[in-house]
Amino acid sequence: MSKLIFDCVFGSKLYGTDTLQSDTDYKGVFLPTSRQIIMGTKEVFHKDTGTKGMANTADDVDREYFSLKKFIQMASKGETAAIDMLHAPDDKVLTNSEIFQFLRDNRSKFYTTKMKAYLGYVRKQASKYGVKGSRLQELMSVLTFIENNPDTKGLRLSAYTHMLPTNTNLIKGSFVDLDSGKEVHYYEVLGRKYLFGIRYSEFIDQIMKIKAEYGARAEKASQGVDWKAMSHAIRGAEQLLEIYTTGDLKFPLKNAEYIRDVKMGKFDFSTEVQPYLEHIMDSAESAAEIASKNGMPDEVDNEYWNDFIYEYYANEVIRNG
């Protein structure tokens, strides 16, 4: 049988965001047997006591185990599950080993300024129902304007500027071009600037691309908020920010109570949750830039970790050969 080298409490009970309705999650890592290494093994094992297709209850237990190779590959990509497991405190660790303790002690080797999977997870959760859903409502006012003012004359955006809708995320502004010294005017839609000099047809194309990015799920979101998805997005962004600013990550999370309250839908979305999530996501991305200037690498040293995997797998085969 394969050898369990790490096992820990995971999910809300690790983060400190659990409620009376929360189930119990465990995640672990195993070292395959010599035969599994040579012949090939299933890299992930999963066991859930819950009923398929239904949400887990407080009585359910969810277990997931990764091979050592799979786990290191996940951590190298910045996947949230692996990064979180590396930071599990001792009181949440059920099984440990010399191999995995080495990974815990060297977890910073998995930190990069481009933790794409981790940041991607945050953005995905945010886009499911919340931030993009509410912003879609603002985008709709621009789309309505375009529908009522189709491109029939081949004019530039400047011909329509006095008619364009404006609000918090729809802004008319200007800046001084350093080369010419002239004032340049633009129309900003959800953070994206369009110069008045572009063709109106091009502006329409760009707005339609934004609409496509938001997608059908975001349109559904404009009618409601998935509070659990929002809490996961905030949690992920805060964890990234903590890694970039302190060089480590501690559980339970220092802002666990707020995240739990978000999950339970205790705050107004438009005035509290949306602005906070956008702020924390922006802060994490800004902190990543600072971390880069302070020496944090852009990529994981994959060759180092490939050698690590090879050494342990080869030794396992030799010992049992």
Phi, psi angle pair for 126, to nearest 5°: -65, -35
Domain shared by 126 and 236, yes or no:
yes
Give the residue from 30, 32, 29, 52 showing the smallest Cα distance to 40.
32
Q: What is the pLDDT of residue 106?
A: 97
What is the spatial distance between Cα 84 and Cα 251, in angstroms, rounded to a whole number? 9
* Helices assigned H by DSSP within the chain: 12-15, 34-39, 68-76, 80-86, 98-105, 116-129, 131-148, 200-221, 227-246, 256-263, 274-293, 302-319
Give the residue from 41, 98, 106 showing the smallest Cα distance to 72.
106
Q: Is the pLDDT of residue 134 over 90?
A: no
Q: Range of 248's domain?
A: 119-130+225-293
Domain shared by 69 and 155, yes or no:
no
Q: Please compute, for residue 136, the number of CA atoms within 13 A of its CA located in the half-sphere on the CB side.
A: 24
Domain shared by 49 and 126, yes or no:
no
Domain shared by 233 and 249, yes or no:
yes
* End residue of a domain, out of 185, 215, 245: 215
- Tally of structural domains, the chain: 3
Please report whether residue 176 resides in a domain. Answer: yes
- What pLDDT digit, counting tens, does each position of 232-262 carry? 999 999 999 999 999 999 999 999 999 999 9
- What pLDDT digit, counting tens, does each position of 205-240 carry? 999 987 776 655 455 454 567 788 889 999 999 999
Domain shared by 304 and 240, yes or no:
no
- Calculate the CA 156 to chain-centre distance: 38
For the chain, percent of residues with pLDDT exceeding 90: 54
Domain shared by 90 and 158, yes or no:
no
Domain shared by 72 and 103, yes or no:
yes
Instruction: Give yes or no for a contact between 19 and 263, defined as CB atoms under 8 angstroms apart.
Output: yes
Instruction: Give yes or no for a contact between 29 and 5, defined as CB atoms under 8 angstroms apart.
Output: yes
- What pLDDT digit, counting tens, does each position of 189-205 carry? 877 889 999 999 999 99
Domain shared by 192 and 258, yes or no:
no
